[in-house]
Structure formats: C-alpha cells, structure tokens
Amino acid sequence: MSDQAPARDDLVTVTINGTTVQTEKGRLLIDVAEEIGNFIPRFCYHPGMKSVAVCRMCLVNVEGMPKLQPACATPVADGMIANTVSDEAVEAQKGVLELLLINHPLDCPICDRAGECPLQDQTYKHGPGSSRYVEEKRHYEKALDISELVVLDRERCVLCWRCVRFSDEIAGDRFIQLVDRGDGTQILNFTDDPFDSYFSGNTIQICPVGALTSKPYRFVSRPWDLETAPSVCDYCSVGCPLTNETRAGNLVRRQALPNEQVNDFWICDKGRFGYHYVSSEDRLTTPLVRSGEDFEQTGWAQALAVVAGKLKGAANVGVIAGGHLTTEDSYAIGKLARKVIGTKDVDSRIQDAGAPYELAMSLTGVAGSNATIDDLKAASNVVWVGPDPKESLPVLYLHLHTGVRDRNTDLFIVSSSSTSLDIHAAQVTRVAPSAQPAAIEALGDKLEGPTVVCWSPGYAGRDESPTLRAAVALAQKVGGKLLVCPPHAGSQGALDMGLHPALEAGHAVVAEPGRGTRQILQAAADGELDVLLIFGADVVADFPDADLARKALGGKAFVVCVELFSTETALLSDVVFPSAASPEREGTFTNLERRLQKLEPLTKPPGTAREVWKTCAAIASALDEDWGWHGFGDVWTDIKGNVRTHADVDIDKLTQEAPLPHPFDEQGFEGEHPSPLRMSGPGGQYPKGHRSGAPFATGQNWPLSWELRAFEARQRPGYVFPAPEVTEAPAMTSPEAVSEGSFELLSGRLIYDEGAMVSRSAALRGLQPDPFIEINDSDAKRLGIADGDPVIVSGAGNEIAVKARVNGVAEGCVFVPYDQKDCRANRLMSGVDPCVEIRKADA
C-alpha cells in the first residue's frame, strides 16, 4: 500500500499459517486462506451459497479460541491468527474423513465422479488412508432415477446439504430434501414427484461426491479422457459461461463456469444438457443447390457462383438473420448486406419481429441495456415487464429469485400471463397488453432507491412499442436503469452489429430505415424481392406468421439459407450453406447486459461446414469484393476500425484460458501445486469474491470477460444520441372489437420446446410438457371450459387442438406457448397483434 492511501476501516489484518494479509471485513476465513494459497478442505461450503457448517471438514485452529473453528463459518477479524495445518486441525480432518467413509461404498471404479471427486481428492490428501470400520455399511437402492436427467446414489452421499440448499436458496424449487433425519438421513424427492427443476444439473456439478450424477453423461467418459474448452451458452441472452467437453472428438458434457457478474456459479439445464444438437443427424455438411424438387450436394465454389450470379443482377435483396449468430457473423452479414449488396433491408428479429429495441436509445444510447446484472443485484426495486423469465431467461430468473430472497429486492411484475416469480413479488399487475403501459406508469410513485426496469419482448407478433416506451419513461422518471432482454445468445450482438433496419453497426441511426423482417417477407411473398438471404433463422418455424413465411419462400425470390440443420426453411430454399455450431468455432456472444464473451473452438464442424462470417466473406469475394479476412483476428481488426462502440475492444484480453488441467496431468497429490484447486474439476470449489473482470494470473479461475461498458461510458458525456423514428410499420391488421370467444394471442417460449437446437438435443427431448394453452378463469367459465379440457384454437385460417389450462392469464387473453410439438403458435398469427378464437373441442 502506498503512503497516501487513506486507512480503510473496512479492512482487517489476519495471519494465516504465518502469512499476514489485509482483507475486507466479513469475509470468511476459508476464502481468505484459499486466496493466499492455503486450501482448507471442505464438503458443505460452497461460495455461491450460505454457510451451514455441517460437514466439519474445515476445522482449523484460531488463536484464542478454545476449540477448533469451522473456517467456512468464521468471518475474519482484525488480528486473527489462524493455523489451518496444525496437528490438531490435521487430526480433526483425518477423523472427519474416516467417519464420512464409514458409510461410503468406495465404489470409485464404477463412479462417474472418480477422477474429479472432492471426496476422493481430499481423502488422498487429508484422509487416514485406511479405515478401522469393519461392520456392514448402510445400504440403499443404488442408482435411483430421480428425474429424466439426474441419478441419485444415496450410499455415496456425505449429507453436505449442497444440493438441498441449492434447490431452496438458489432455484427456489425444493423438489429434493433430507428425509428420515436421524441415523437414516438421506436425500430424496417426494415419492413419485421427480426432481423436475430447470436447474437440476447444478446439483450434479456441486455435489462433492458421486451421489448425484448426470444421466446423459452416465458412464460416458472418465474425466481424464475429456478435452475441455471454455465457451458461452448458445441458447438465451443471459450468456452463461460454460465448458464444452469432448471425449474422442464427441461433445459429451457441459458444465457451468463461474462468473459472479453473469451467472454466479450456475447454468440452466437447457444450457447444460442441450448440446446433442451439435451431433444431430440433421446437421448440414455440404452446400446444397436446388435442382427441381431435390437438392444437389455441391462444392463451395459451385454454390457460391450460383449465389453470386443471382446477386449480381438483383435489384431487391432482403437479409434476415437469426438470434444464435456470433458478433463476428453478425458484423459480416451487415457488411455484406449494406456495403457489398447495397441493401438496407436487414433485420435480425424473427420471433421478436418488430420488437422496438431502438426505443431504449433515448435512455441508454444504444438499442440495449444500460443496466448490468450487477446493477440488477444491487437494486432495491426491480420491475419485470414480460413473460415468465424462468422459461425464457432461466439464470436471470435465479438472480431475480435470490434478489427477493436474500437481497431484499422488491419485485414489481407487469405481465399478461402468469410467471414463476409471482409468488415472490411485492406486486403483480396482471393486465392485457394494451393496459401494460398504464400499469408501468403507475409504478412511478412506488419506487424509491436504485431501480432496474427489465423489459423482455414477450409476446411474439405483438407491437410492444407502447410498453417499452412506458418502461423507458419509468426508468427515466425514477432515475433507474434499463435492462433490455432480447431472446437469444446472439440477439444483442446482432443489434450491436447493425442487423436492424434502422441501425447500422455501432447503433448509428440510418437516415431512411430499410424494411424489417415482416416487410421483407411480405415483399418476398408479393414477388417484389429478387433474392432473400437467410442466416441461421428458421422463419417458417419462428416468424410469427408461418403462412407469410411460407409464401415468402415459395415466391419468385431466390432464397439462400445459411444453416446448421436441414430446417423447414432450408428445405424451401434454393441454395443452402452449412454453418458451424458454437463448440466448433472461435467467436464472441454479446449478452443482454452487452457483455462480450469469448467462445473457444473444441470440435471440428461436420463436412465442409464453416463459420457464417467466412461464408459472408466468400460471397463478397464471389462478388469481387475482397475483405482480406484470413482469420478471426482480421474480422476484429475490421470491426474495431468500423464500429465505434467496439473500437477499443482488445480481443486478446477476451481469451478465456482453458480450464485447469485435469488431475491426471498433475504429479500425484504431494508436493507443489500452484493452486490446490487443481485437484477438482470445474464446479468443485472456488474462492469467493474475486472472480470477475480481468483475467486471473493465479489459475484459480477462468478469466471471464471484458467490459465493453467502460468504454461506452467514457464516450457518452456530451454525445447526444439521435432518437430514431419508429421503424416498424403500424399494425397491418388491427384487431376488431373482441367478440365472444375471441382472444388476444400471447405467445412466449417455454424452456423446452421445438426450437431448432433444443429439439435436436436428445437429453431434453422427453421434457416438453404436453401441448397446452392457458386461459383466464372467468373466460374459461364463460366458454364452459374446465382445466384440462381439450380445446380448438383458431387463427389466421389455421387451427390447433390442445388442452386448456385455467390459469392467471389476463382476461381476454390466451397464452399459447410459442413452439410446441405439432402445434406451432405462429401458424395462428397474421399481422401484428394477432387474435384467435377458442372453442371447446367436441367430445
């Protein structure tokens, strides 16, 4: 510390094993010791949850205390002198391990955890080596299926409570509990009720033994046979960092990487188990060129020549991109469209077509958030406007849940359909979409203290401009911040890179906006487009008007589709290029707080599939424009030179170092370890509190991400962002007065649905609920519909037959999950703000 540094009264000085350090008051001894290289063994302590001190593995000597203290429940105090390796402490640790092993089956040879098991590791390092116990061990039925994803072996459990605490404290769905407390204590679910949490996989990762194991990964690999690369989840816009792990080139596992600024320690089960799509049989492997009814497999040069030929003579070109593309892909698409082809008709909003992100600019300066997840956690008020975040943005739901539970956040919900957070909210306003703006405005007088207003474009096909405008006005009025939550992993990056008819890369407003997704498809359907380029978007399945999408593809426009899979859209196209999936490539995703995070490549794309940016560069070069992009670095040089918001990005700093080597690389367990953490695989254990921001030198953590925001904040003062005009045309069909049996259609995603990736992920296939819709109690009564009755929903000339759930949807509205099996909601939609009819199905 320098001489000028003012004395900080939040610091204390402690001495641990002879080393004296200064650290913040209130931190736990176990964390401080670990940070300075003294790893205290532990089972129950996990930095993401509260201490319970039940396992007694972390006992250490603290001078002045008559007995050993559990380091996980001992806050550091000024002048504290602790010894974590005293004879007494070491003896206690041995004793605890011997007791834990009394009932442990020691079946490591058939245990998935072996090789990355904290119990195994700590027994080697701290245990007694042999047991004096010769009696019969406790027995339970082994390998109990407690859900479609999790297997429980109660004999291996050391009763650390981590899984139970996670379910309670973090996920808030207490499907597993300790039962038969006493000598028969065990973890169990309730009889036939499965452990059906959206977050169950986290308990597998934090279980310090092999008691909870993963069904999809069961007996698939030994940890030392895995190759691992850090990546970012490719599903929703929370952007949870995670690992991709392969065995012999096949992706076999994903685990959460910790970042306290993004996901804490957690990911949802969709992110964790939704990786089988990568090896799906539907993956495209070569370019395809239509010949009559069929496709011909071709080489790239041939297909590119066909596309270039069409583009050269084209006067009208539309470009549509999906939500799962990386920042680089989006930049390349924008560059190809605007600079090479010369069209302004570019959009990346599919399911969220017309979502008025640009309205956020009057507050944030960008079509996105100015709040971070950290802001959300620190806020005393959070306003949630949108459908259930547990379904669409699962880890954000965790933050909102723990906010109410542990951080005294007051949660105000304005939503037209029921949400999982309703039971935690200080106030729920359940009104039809048209009444949302007034409901949001009315909150203005209730919010004191730091406030974050969250808006997620909820209901597909609706014009949400009045709602977002009200949300922005509310944030402005109370001096709060705005968290804009676009749907997918690549959505924000696409907006940042200008895949929006009114915004160029860097959120520069276009003087005369081009056409949005709906108008582009309409133009194609009307025969006004010559070429339609579609990147990673299944418009037939995802655009909120399936018939229009089909007509657009069936029109005279020449359709080029760049895709992972042979989707419906791809099958209706004229030329198809295969693309690489996220574990197969280098890239970045930008999450909903506009944080840029890096994907590292691990596997090879199938056949000749490649990154979308390469495809764009190849099309450009076929049109005689050479971008000079030979690698990922060149793309970034281009981006930095041309996108003002990204000029300062240091892409090398974003590099996530590969996770720690697996234990096999280590020289046994004695002697020198740069960090004792090396003993356990991801999720085993981390110190708390110093895990975010810049890369770590110690190897105790994976360097995570780089803050774009700092740069932008510097740019902002004095710079006035022009407010854009509304870019989508007003409603093309306005709903008639609502008649008997006519409902406003609300449609949002469920976590497990027919989405292109999740539906091709084997482990999650069985988890979709049976198709359903939700209607309001009084509407149901009026129509004579009881809970569980079959109903027919009709709209846009189509009908679907489903079961009705009678639920807390706003009156006059019906919630139809977006992409259910055999009943896609987008078939019921035409125009903006669609309505549908509901009637009881004839028995």
> Cα–Cα distances in Å, from 601 out to 7, 205, 276, 330, 531?
46, 23, 16, 18, 32
Six token digits for residue 130: 């042999």
Six token digits for residue 147: 């859900």
Contact pick of 95, 105, 194, 695 for other proteins (by CB under 8 A): 194
Nearer of residues 272 and 335 to other proteins, judged by Cβ: 272
Q: Cα 440 vs. chain centroid, distance in angstroms?
A: 27
Is residue 174 a contact residue for other proteins (CB under 8 A)? yes
Contact pick of 787, 790, 801, 821 for other proteins (by CB under 8 A): 787
Nearer of residues 29 and 414 to ligand FES, judged by Cβ: 29
Q: Of 216, 21, 35, which is closest to residue 685 (Cα–Cα)?
A: 35
Any idea how long the chain is?
843
Is residue 27 a contact residue for ligand FES (CB under 6 A)? no
Looking only at residues 57 through 76 of this chain, which bind ligand FES when binding is defined by CB under 6 A?
57-58, 70, 72
Residue 586 half-sphere exposure, CB side, CA atoms within 13 Å? 13
Is residue 42 a contact residue for ligand FES (CB under 6 A)? yes
Nearer of residues 39 and 815 to ligand FES, judged by Cβ: 39
Nearer of residues 184 and 444 to other proteins, judged by Cβ: 184
Is residue 445 a contact residue for other proteins (CB under 8 A)? no
Specify the DSSP class assigned to residue 825. Answer: G
Is residue 193 a contact residue for other proteins (CB under 8 A)? yes
Residue 242's beta-bridge partner residues? 231, 256
Nearer of residues 127 and 458 to ligand FES, judged by Cβ: 127
Q: Which helix (H) or strand (E) holds 13?
A: strand 11-16
Is residue 56 a contact residue for ligand FES (CB under 6 A)? yes
Is residue 756 a contact residue for ligand SF4 (CB under 6 A)? no
Is the Cα dihedral 198, 202, 204, 208 positive or negative? negative
> Is 394 in contact with 751 (CB distance < 8 Å)?
yes
Is residue 394 a contact residue for ligand SF4 (CB under 6 A)? yes
Number of residues that bind ligand SF4 (CB under 6 A): 26
For the chain, the first-to-last Cα distance in angstroms comes to 79
Q: What would the DSSP string read from start to end of 258-295? A: PBTTTTBT---HHHHHTTGGGG-TTB--S-EEEETTEE
Is residue 41 a contact residue for ligand SF4 (CB under 6 A)? no
Nearer of residues 189 and 591 to other proteins, judged by Cβ: 189
CB of 154 to ligand SF4, least distance (A): 8
> Cα–Cα distances in Å, from 737 out to 431, 740, 742, 744, 796?
17, 10, 9, 11, 16
Tell the residue number behind the tokens 């650290």, with chain if given: 23
Residue 32 half-sphere exposure, CB side, CA atoms within 13 Å? 30
CB of 184 to other proteins, least distance (A): 7
CB of 203 to other proteins, least distance (A): 13
Contact pick of 3, 136, 141, 822 for other proteins (by CB under 8 A): 141
Question: Among ligand SF4, ligand FES, other proteins, none, what binds residue 207 when CB lies within 5 to 8 Å by partner kind?
Answer: ligand SF4
**Three-state secondary structure call for residue 751:** coil
Nearer of residues 179 and 426 to ligand SF4, judged by Cβ: 179
Number of residues that bind other proteins (CB under 8 A): 53
Listed ranges 48-56, 86-94, 290-298, 364-372: which one lies at the site for ligand FES (CB under 6 A): 48-56
d(CA 628, CA 464): 41
CB of 469 to other proteins, least distance (A): 22
Question: Among other proteins, ligand SF4, ligand FES, none, what binds residue 463 when CB lies within 5 to 8 Å by partner kind?
Answer: none
Q: Of 719, 735, 685, which is closest to residue 57 (Cα–Cα)?
A: 685
Q: What are phi and psi of 206, to 5 degrees?
A: -95, -10
Burial of 464 (0-12, 13-18, 19+ CB in 10 A): buried
Nearer of residues 434 and 476 to other proteins, judged by Cβ: 434
Listed ranges 69-77, 205-213, 400-408, 480-488: which one lies at the site for ligand SF4 (CB under 6 A): 205-213
- Residues near other proteins (CB under 8 A): 140-141, 144-145, 147-148, 172-182, 184, 186, 188-194, 196, 198, 388, 390-391, 418-420, 422-423, 425-431, 751, 766-767, 769, 777, 787, 805-808
- Residues near ligand FES (CB under 6 A): 42-45, 53-58, 70, 72
- Residues near ligand SF4 (CB under 6 A): 157-163, 187, 207-209, 211-212, 233, 235-236, 238-240, 263, 267-268, 270-271, 394-395
